[in-house]
Every structure is written in C-alpha cells, then in structure tokens.
Amino acid sequence: MAEEGGGEEYLFKIVVIGDSAVGKSNLLSRFARDEFDHNSKATIGVEFQTQVVQVDGKEVKAQVWDTAGQERFRAVTSAYYRGAVGALIVYDITRKTTFESTKRWLDELNNVDLESITTRLVKRIGIAYNTYIVALFSDLACDFHIKRVKLGVYGAHCDTAVARMLVGNKCDLDDIREVSVEEGKSLAEEEGLFFIETSALDATNVMKAFEIVIHEIY
C-alpha cells in the first residue's frame, strides 16, 4: 500500500490477468469509464487506469493494470506485478480452456507475490538482501524450491499478501456456458480466492468485483 499526498489518500495497484479475450480490458473500461467495446482489440503491452473509490469515507485511488493475455504481446512480468496489492484472475465462462488456464496465471502471480513478500520481510528484519538469500538458499544446502515453498507458508500469514479474486466473466452468455458457477466457486475455495461472476457487457457485478478487492486491501 502506497500512501500519497497528505496521508488521507491511498493508491492501490491492482492487476488484471487471464487468457486473451476473456474480457479483461472491457472489465477495466466498465469499471473506470462505464464503457463497453464490442470490437475491442487485443491489448498490446500494458495499460492502466486510475479510478477514485470511496472506502469508509476515505478516498482511495485504484490504479488498475491491464496487460495482454497473448504471450507475444505481454510486457515483462515482474514489472507488471511489482507493487500490486490486489489481483483479478479472469476467465470466460463460455470457454473452459480459459478456466483451466487460471491455475497457470495464479502460479505466475504467486511466484511474484512470494518474491515481493520475501523482499519486504528482509527489509523488515533489517538484514542485507544478499546475505539473507545466501544464508537461506545456499548455505543451508537445502533445495531452492523447498525453501521458497516454506517462505510461502510464512508469507501467507503476512498481512501484505495480495488480495485475489477469481472472476468468471461474460455471465450474460449463460446459454452457452462451459464452466458452472459451482466449478468456479470450488476452485476459488481450493485456492483461497474470492469468487464472482461478472458481465462487462451488461455491467453485472463489475463494480462489486473491484470494490471487494479494494475493501480487502484497505
């Protein structure tokens, strides 16, 4: 959480991830400008929008980042996730493959999240980053991956973890649905995520999805 200005204003970075054409850019334009584009083009690189939201009488700026679902158009991953305190992991309820991909997106998010938590923990206990990493990962002669997982368990109890929401978009297309509400809910439970179905087209639950994440961060 970054504080700006006179201490009354907060800036939260939220990232939106998921396969191409699940509706990430339209969720963002619906949230920030109440707009929808039937012919939206695939995102290239990174875009972001800032929207002011009131939480408990305080002004919160949500800076929402949107990137390409297509690998070839994606920007450098770690830069995209850096400083994020909230994440929307989006799939399209009419395409099962996009639902199956959410695990991969979560893995990517968790890896970056873990790295930032590690860095923050290191800063908090005041030991030089390099010394800490060498001590943890090399000298103990343990497997690097196991150490990361252990740190993850520790990190999960840390109050600075990223607030995550699984979003099943295009719920206006219920008649050609390939992923049931129950499947979405159960994956979210398994992974410890919030869950919501949205429609960027008819605006169902779009504000709510962002508001829940922002409230959780706040």
User: Of 117 and 200, which CB lies nearer to Mg ion in the complex structure?
Assistant: 200
User: Of 21 and 122, which CB lies nearer to ligand GTP in the complex structure?
Assistant: 21
Q: How far is the CB of 25 from Mg ion (least distance, A)?
A: 3
75, 122, 136, 201: which one binds ligand GTP (CB under 6 A): 201
As a whole number of angstroms, the distance between CA 109 and CA 143 comes to 22
* AA identity, residue 179: V
170, 184, 197, 210: which one binds ligand GTP (CB under 6 A): 170
Tokens 């009131």 found at: 54
User: Of 10 and 65, which CB lies nearer to Mg ion in the complex structure?
Assistant: 65
For residue 62, give every residue at least 6 positions away whose Cβ sits within 8 Å of its Cβ, in sequence order, or none. Answer: 12, 14, 50, 51, 52, 53, 210, 214
As a whole number of angstroms, the distance between CA 189 and CA 49 comes to 29
Binding pattern for the stretch 27-66 against Mg ion, x by CB under 5 A and - elsewhere: ----------------x-----------------------
**Cβ–Cβ < 8 Å for 12, 60:** yes
Q: Residue 145: which H helix or E strand, with range?
A: helix 144-156
* Tokens matching residue 64: 């929402």
Would you count residue 24 as binding ligand GTP (CB under 6 A)? yes
User: Of 18 and 155, which CB lies nearer to ligand GTP in the complex structure?
Assistant: 18
- Interface residues toward ligand GTP, by CB under 6 A: 20-26, 37-38, 40, 42-43, 68-70, 169-170, 172-173, 199-201
